């Protein structure tokens, strides 16, 4: 065998697998194969001047490369079992939280010291939410910020590069079982290993599916979350974000009893494009450095849809809606809330005259032509509900960007060791369908590494 362990994908899941294996001091031969570039070579061509929107690069530098989808993220590490994934269903609630805390300690010792840990414990905001039919979920949130998150990744890479072989711009094309391990194919060469950990994230979802097909690993369809990104003046949410930074709030709509939730809150942040398999959707992040703060706060409002029978392709449904917005807007569409509720499209002039300045150059349009009525009705109802705890949320000038889609990988059947029915083949992080966040994906990497260390 070339290697004791091959890790496919250098996102948080892959990095923390490699970190834990390398730090065991067992002299294991470890390789990380990553489709994207090293951290310092990752550049999104959008400069806001010559290139204003996504040009659909063959390999998206936002999603791929050392650091994975998390590299330019807001670096919010949520320590909770209430959202961010269902890792606890496999490894237990206590161990899941312990591992998330362990990951937090590594981030702190690699450049994250001094960043703030927010908590929902004992907050009066919970009661105010309940009085208005809103439910605040419990969590501790470490906010590294995009800038410190980058420093942490840089430090982790510098420490790991002498103990782990990193192969960048190396897409794995196939995995085959062989006697005592696995054969891992790339366009350039073939590697072999005793244990293989796959952590290819959401961007690797289609490839993951093909691996499961070829190795006979059972999968289950997962949900898709569809919605918009809301952008408001930061003052409107300041009483929530100053205390909690990120508040995960759930609302059950009166009309359809659907659940709508807030997701990925970025105080003083920016709204950005996200490219998943050529489909442009919207996301957001913010910096820890006050000099990079904007005047706006953004967050997503999402509704989950899960299809099972006869139609099973939840992601395909989300993709179709995102494609429709790309067709009408050439990318992401932006609309004023006032225009949406009056049933008219937003125009360049209306956006220009708005009191909220957009942080993303999106195409003014009409989201009601893209988002299914039931989902849009739920989002509008939630905006009015949020207006009760944060007056101003339902102002005419509130900006809605669409569509935001959270694709979840189909759930790969893995056991309590995060191992598939193929012995020695582990599937972790977001590509397993089990995690959907930096903290859960990283924790799953540490967990898989520890199981491997026990076995080898
Ligand atoms: C803009 C943005 C902001 C976000 N903000 C937050 C946040 O603040 N907090 C939070 O908890 N989560 C956030 N997320 C989600 C978070 O980034 C992911 O949950 C996390 O990165 C998942 O880690 P992972 O290792 O499972 O996968 P990924 O980070 O997606 O990494 C997978 C890696 O595998 C590589 N790969 C794919 N296919 C192959 C292949 N065939 N061969 C080799 N390599 C391959 C990819 O290039 C990628 O680098 C954000 C995501 C985005 C896009």
Probe target for ligand 1 pocket from 201, 229, 269, 406, with the most ligand atoms within 8 Å of CB: 201
Query: Rounded to an integer, what is the distance from CA 250 to the centroid of its chain?
Result: 18
Probe target for ligand 1 pocket from 54, 58, 68, with the most ligand atoms within 8 Å of CB: 68
Q: How far, in Å, is the centroid of ligand 1 from the Cα of 132?
A: 35
Residues in the chain predicted with pLDDT less than 70, given as ranges, are none
- Burial profile 392-405: b = 16 or more Cβ within 10 angstroms, e = fewer: ebbbebbbbbbbbb
User: Distance (Å, rounded) from C-alpha 114 to C-alpha 116?
Assistant: 6
User: Could you tell me which residues come within 8 angstroms of residue 114 by beta carbon, excluding any fewer than 6 positions away?
Assistant: none
What residues are in contact with ligand 1 under a 6 Å CB criterion? 8-14, 33-36, 64-65, 68-70, 73-76, 78, 84, 171-172, 199-204, 207, 264, 272, 274, 283, 285, 429-431, 436-439, 441
Tokens 């990079």: give the residue: 292
Minimum CA distance residue for ligand 1 atom 6: 73
- What's residue 311's pLDDT? 85
Probe target for ligand 1 pocket from 6, 9, 156, 284, with the most ligand atoms within 8 Å of CB: 9
What token pair was written down for 314?
Answer: 């939840």
- What's residue 279's pLDDT? 87
Minimum CA distance residue for ligand 1 atom 12: 437
Query: Rounded to an integer, what is the distance from CA 367 to the centroid of its chain?
Result: 23
Asked whether 237 and 310 are in contact (CB, 8 A), the reply is: no
Q: How far, in Å, is the centroid of ligand 1 from the Cα of 59?
A: 13
Q: How far, in Å, is the centroid of ligand 1 from the Cα of 353?
A: 37
Taking only the tens place, the pLDDT of each residue in 31-72 is 999 999 999 999 988 877 788 777 878 888 888 999 999 898
Q: How far, in Å, is the centroid of ligand 1 from the Cα of 11?
A: 5
Containing H/E element for 156? helix 145-160
Closest atom of ligand 1 to CA, residue 9: 34
Closest atom of ligand 1 to CA, residue 170: 43
Minimum CA distance residue for ligand 1 atom 1: 73
Probe target for ligand 1 pocket from 6, 7, 11, with the most ligand atoms within 8 Å of CB: 11
Containing H/E element for 140? strand 140-143
Enumerate the β-bridge partners of residue 196.
6, 425
Containing H/E element for 213? helix 205-215
Count CB neighbours of 421 within 10 A: 13
Asked whether 203 and 407 are in contact (CB, 8 A), the reply is: no
> Could you tell me the end-to-end alpha-carbon distance of the chain, in angstroms, rounded to an integer?
14
User: Could you tell me which residues come within 8 angstroms of residue 257 by beta carbon, excluding any fewer than 6 positions away?
Assistant: none
Q: How far, in Å, is the centroid of ligand 1 from the Cα of 429?
A: 8
User: Distance (Å, rounded) from C-alpha 312 to C-alpha 300?
Assistant: 25
Tokens 């952008």: give the residue: 231
Q: How far, in Å, is the centroid of ligand 1 from the Cα of 142?
A: 18
Q: How would you class 189 by CB atoms within 10 Å of its CB: exposed for 0-12, middle for 13-18, buried for 19 or more?
A: exposed
Probe target for ligand 1 pocket from 6, 73, 299, with the most ligand atoms within 8 Å of CB: 73
Q: How far, in Å, is the centroid of ligand 1 from the Cα of 438?
A: 8
Comparing CA positions, the residue from 6, 16, 7 lying closest to residue 437 is: 16
What token pair was written down for 145?
Answer: 């910020």
């Amino acid at each position: 065998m070339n290697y004791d362990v091959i890790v496919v994908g250098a996102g948080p899941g892959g990095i923390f697998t490699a970190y834990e294996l390398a730090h065991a001091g067992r002299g294991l031969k470890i390789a990380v194969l990553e489709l994207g570039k090293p951290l310092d070579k990752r550049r999104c061509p959008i400069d806001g001047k010559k290139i204003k929107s996504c040009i659909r690069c063959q390999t998206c530098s936002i999603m791929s490369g050392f650091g994975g989808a998390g590299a330019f993220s807001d670096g919010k590490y949520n320590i909770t079992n209430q959202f961010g994934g269902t890792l606890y269903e496999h490894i237990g609630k206590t161990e899941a939280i312990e591992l998330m805390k362990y990951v937090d300690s590594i981030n702190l010792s690699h450049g994250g010291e001094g960043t703030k840990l927010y908590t929902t414990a004992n907050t009066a905001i919970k009661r105010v939410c309940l009085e208005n039919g809103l439910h605040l979920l419990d969590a501790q949130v470490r906010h590294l910020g995009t800038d410190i998150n980058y420093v942490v990744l840089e430090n982790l890479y510098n420490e790991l590069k002498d103990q782990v072989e990193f192969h960048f711009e190396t897409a794995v094309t196939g995995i085959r079982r062989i006697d005592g391990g696995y054969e891992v194919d790339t366009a350039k060469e073939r590697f072999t290993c005793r244990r293989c950990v796959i952590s290819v994230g959401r961007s690797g979802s289609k490839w993951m599916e093909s691996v499961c097909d070829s190795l006979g690993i059972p999968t289950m369809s997962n949900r898709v979350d569809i919605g918009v990104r809301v952008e408001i003046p930061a003052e409107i949410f300041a009483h929530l974000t100053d205390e909690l930074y990120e508040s995960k709030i759930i609302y059950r709509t009166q009309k359809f009893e659907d659940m709508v939730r807030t997701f990925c809150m970025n105080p003083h942040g920016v709204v950005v494009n996200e490219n998943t398999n050529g489909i442009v959707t919207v996301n957001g992040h913010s910096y820890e450095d006050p000099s990079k703060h904007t005047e706006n706060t953004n967050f997503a409002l999402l509704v989950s849809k899960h299809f099972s029978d006869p139609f099973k392709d939840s992601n395909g449904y989300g993709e179709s809606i995102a494609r429709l917005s790309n067709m009408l807007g050439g990318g992401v569409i932006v609309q004023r809330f006032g225009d949406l509720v009056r049933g008219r499209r937003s125009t360049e002039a209306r956006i220009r005259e708005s009191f909220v300045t957009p942080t993303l150059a999106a195409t003014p349009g009409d989201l009601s032509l893209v988002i299914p009525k039931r989902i849009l009705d739920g989002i509008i109802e939630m905006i009015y509900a949020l207006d009760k705890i944060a007056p101003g949320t339902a102002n005419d000038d509130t900006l809605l960007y669409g569509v935001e889609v959270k694709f979840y990988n189909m759930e790969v059947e893995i056991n309590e060791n995060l191992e598939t029915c193929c012995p020695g083949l582990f599937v972790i992080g977001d590509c397993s369908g089990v995690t959907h966040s930096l903290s859960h994906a990283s924790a799953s990497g540490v967990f898989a590494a520890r199981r491997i260390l026990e076995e080898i």
